[in-house]
Chains A and B, each alone.
Chain A
Amino acid sequence: QVQLQESGPGLVKPSETLSLTCSVSGGSVSSANDYWNWLRQSPGKGLEWIGYIYNSGSTKYNPSLESRVTISVDTSKNQFSLRLNSVTAADTAIYYCARQSTFRHCISSTTCYTGPNSFDFWGQGTLVSVSS
């Protein structure tokens, strides 16, 4: 059973950098079969996908946040992290880390399709408020 736990400051000042860490147990951030994600949820914008890291370093981000986001991994600690810079009040939200496994669909003996599956394991979430 994969377990994830977010940690980091609950209060960040406007224009500063939000930094969160997700600790993983029961799975490995080094796994080539898993995508490690950050998402957030606010009353105004619902559930929003921020980005993921996979294969120990490849990343993909939501274009709406890409200019401000960095997701990195620390394989020695089995953790991955989120940095969101130049925050404003609009970044106030519950931040979740979550895993997507990889699906593999083979339509013939030689042709298979792979990619990220659903979000099957989530952390409990951590509330981050942006305020001076």
Chain B
Amino acid sequence: IVMTQSPDSLAVSLGERATINCKSSQSVLYSSTNKNYLSWYQQKPGQPPKLLLFWASTRDSGVPDRFSGSGSGTDFTLTINGLQAEDVAVYYCHQHYEGPWTFGQGTKVEFK
């Protein structure tokens, strides 16, 4: 499954909203459970990726509520409401619906 993110990069002012899109080449919604096997990660320089959201919209423990996820099937969105300084990073979507697990190419979020 090919994961395609857009845009590749975006510049956002402090306190403004950042929106990242992720499209999968086939649905990652498992109909029997009504779960999307789609996760979002944040990666800062020199660090491994950090899990932000799983099942497309469920925040991992300790993740601030300014991070939210939406979408189903093949189209997903990560929204950061009120960008903070510590949110400057690269964000990746990932599917674990079907092997091999795959990631989007990443979206770099910077300050405007």
B49 touches A49 (CB 8 A): no
Chain A residues contacting B99 (CB-CB under 8 Å) are 60, 62
Question: CB of B100 within 8 A of chain A?
Answer: yes
Q: In chain A, what residue has the closest Cβ to B54?
A: A118
Distance A60 CA – B101 CA, assembled complex (angstroms): 11
Minimum CB–CB distance from B100 to chain A (whole Å) comes to: 4
A49 touches B48 (CB 8 A): no
A118 touches B100 (CB 8 A): no
Minimum CB–CB distance from B63 to chain A (whole Å) comes to: 12
Q: Which residue, A64, A105, A107, A118, has most C-beta atoms of chain B within 10 A?
A: A118
Question: CB of B103 within 8 A of chain A?
Answer: yes
Question: CB of A117 within 8 A of chain B?
Answer: yes
Residue pairs across A and B with CB atoms within 8 Å: the count is 55
Question: CB of B68 within 8 A of chain A?
Answer: no
B60 touches A96 (CB 8 A): no
- The 10 tightest CB contacts between A and B, nearest first, are A122-B48, A118-B39, A47-B103, A62-B100, A105-B33, A49-B101, A118-B54, A46-B105, A120-B51, A118-B51
29 contacts between A and B (CB under 8 A): A46-B92, A46-B103, A46-B105, A46-B106, A47-B49, A47-B94, A47-B103, A47-B106, A62-B99, A62-B100, A100-B96, A105-B33, A107-B33, A113-B30, A113-B33, A115-B96, A116-B101, A118-B39, A118-B54, A118-B60, A119-B39, A119-B41, A119-B49, A120-B60, A122-B50, A123-B48, A124-B47, A124-B48, A125-B48
